[in-house]
Amino acid sequence: MSGIGPAPAEILADGTPDLLRIRGGRGRALVAGFSVAHFMQHVVTTLLNPLLPLIRDTFALSYAQSGLVVSAYTISLGLANAPLGILADRLGSRVVLAAGLVLVGAAAVALALAGQYWQVLALFVGMGIVAAAYHAPAVAILSRAFPDRTRGTAMGIHTAGGSLAVFASPLIAAFFASALAPEQAWRSAYLWTAAVPIVCGIAVWIVAPAGMPAARVGRGWLAATREVFDVFRALGRVVTLSVAFQVVYAATLAFLAIYLVDARGLDPAAAAALFAVPQAAGVVGPFLGGWLSDRIGRRTVIAIGLGVLGPAMWVFTATPTALVALPLAVIGLTAGIRTTVTEVLVAESSPHARRATVLGTYYLLAAIGGVAAPALGALAGAVGIAAAFASVGAFLTVLSALAVALAAMRKL
């Protein structure tokens, strides 16, 4: 399709520095630097899910109110992705990345001092907006920097940096939960980690590649809208199924710690630690998925991830508590594979000058599913959280079967 997936010559003609070798010094430095930045950004922004039981107890929240806290962050994150992607394409990624990281740290400090439920909601809205300043600009830069044969590996390593933080955050939450009183625990967790993204923002401002400022985009809103639409029309089934999985998976992940406490009888510290299992597996998933996709194709690897994730969710709900770490590990591995390779496919299918814009739109579609969290909370309030999770597992299993069928017919 015209305008999708520019060749290396077109990229170089647009002013991007020479494509990098992932084993070269510049390539390694770029991947390592952005992986560290990804890690640091996620250290703060992923504390919410494992700390949610403690925040719930502090403000005496219902399941639905707890889901609304999650939605305050995820929906604002989703809505802000596209505008900030556009901003990065116009102003350059360096400014957007650095400012976003610093502001995430500032939001964490304010959150630690919040005294009322409405303040918590407002601050998570703000944190979601500034957190959106990271992903689209960073992935756009990486996708421009490396050729097809190593792009998946480079972006997989970068995503693994974020996944490592998602693994570390529950352990941080478990440490504070076991060492302090409940209200002090979650406030201290945010306060002590706030400096991390601030430091990273300063570092990004210093080391971000100066050779990749803004892409040249001066063709108007109509052209931008048409190009974004062309990308998603070409990737329709893949993006639709991937977003559907992301929406439901994000909602269940938001309630995982509460599910382990209320349905499985674990204490909050143990639940927070067990929450880290899919995150640990998720560190391997992005690298494995990116590496495989460089060799057997993006769509094939996405189909594998989609086909396994649904049954793994159902098995998790039926597995005895002593063994739930096993299906949780499979869930984290396959979720990491699906997420990373879908990002690679969307990025390399996008016009060079609109790459951050298209990626921001994709992240918007995925994150706007935050509305599913209060919906799951309402379902849990009506039928019980154990039955709600079992229903989600069954639904995702049906979606997995659909993804496998489409892949078998070469229609994915």
Which residues neighbour 97 within 8 Å (Cβ) at sequence distance 6 or greater?
A: 37, 88, 133, 134, 137, 138, 201, 204, 208
pLDDT band at 88 (very low <50, low <70, confident <90, very high): confident
pLDDT for 209 equals 61
Distance CA 18, CA 29 (A): 15
Residue 158 has pLDDT above 90, yes or no: no
Amino acid at 18: D
User: For the ranges 3-12, 48-57, 60-69, 285-294, which has the lowest average pLDDT?
Assistant: 3-12
Q: Output the pLDDT for position 370.
A: 57
Give the Cβ contact number of residue 364 at 10 Å.
22
Model confidence at 230: pLDDT above 80: no
The confidence score (pLDDT) of residue 1 equals 36
**What does the pLDDT average to over 348-371?**
74
d(CA 7, CA 132): 28
- Report, as an integer, the average pLDDT of 110-139: 89
How high does pLDDT run on average in the chain? 81
pLDDT in the model for residue 9:
32
Q: Does residue 97 or residue 208 have the better pLDDT?
A: 97
Most confident option among 71-85, 190-204, 382-396? 382-396
Long-range pairs of 226-229 with CB within 8 A, sequence gap ≥ 24: 227/3, 227/350, 227/351, 227/354, 227/358, 228/354, 228/357, 228/358, 228/361
Residue 32: pLDDT band (50, 70, 90) is confident
Question: Is pLDDT above 80 for 3?
Answer: no
Integer-rounded Cα radius of gyration of the chain? 20
Provide the pLDDT for residue 78: 78
The domain spans of the chain are 22-408
Quote the CA–CA distance of 261 and 148 in Å, as a whole number. Answer: 45
pTM beyond 0.85, yes or no: no
The pLDDT tens digits for 287-296 are 898 888 888 8
Identify which has the larger pLDDT, 32 or 256. Answer: 256
* 328 pLDDT higher than 90: yes
Q: At what angle do helices 93-112 and 25-45 cross, to 10 degrees?
A: 30
| 83, HSE (Cβ side, Cα atoms, 13 Å) | 9
Q: Which positions ≥6 away from 117 have C-beta within 8 Å?
A: 59, 61, 65
Nearest-angstrom CA–CA distance, 319 and 36: 35
**pLDDT cut 70: percent of the chain above it:** 87
18 vs 100: CA distance, rounded Å? 27
Amino acid at 183: E
What CATH class is the domain 22-408?
Answer: mainly alpha
Cα–Cα distances in angstroms (integers) from residue 293 to residues 19, 199, 279, 300, 345, in the given order? 19, 34, 21, 8, 9
Structure tokens at 348: 């390399």
Q: Contact at 8 Å (CB) between 140 and 17?
A: no
Residues 6+ apart with CB under 8 A from 9: none
How far, in Å, CA of 128 to CA of 122, rounded? 10
**What local confidence, expressed as pLDDT, does residue 307 receive?**
92
| Separation between Cα atoms, residue 344 and residue 340, nearest integer Å | 6
Higher pLDDT, 163 or 176: 176
Neighbouring residues of 183: CB distance < 8 A, sequence distance ≥ 6 = 54, 57, 58
Confidence band for 8, pLDDT divided at 50, 70 and 90: very low
As a whole number, mean pLDDT of residues 220-244 equals 73
The token duo for 161 is 């940096």
Cβ-contact 337, 305 below 8 angstroms? yes
Q: Contact 156/288 with Cβ under 8 angstroms?
A: yes
Which pair of tokens denotes residue 377? 């909370």
pLDDT of residue 215: 47
Question: Can you tell me the distance from the alpha carbon of 212 to that of 141, in angstroms, rounded to the nearest whole number?
Answer: 7
Q: Which of 338, 355, 336 is nearest to 347 (CA)?
A: 355
Mean pLDDT of 152-174: 82
Residue 390's pLDDT band, with cuts at 50, 70 and 90, is: very high
Q: How confident is the model at residue 255 (pLDDT cuts 50, 70, 90)?
A: confident
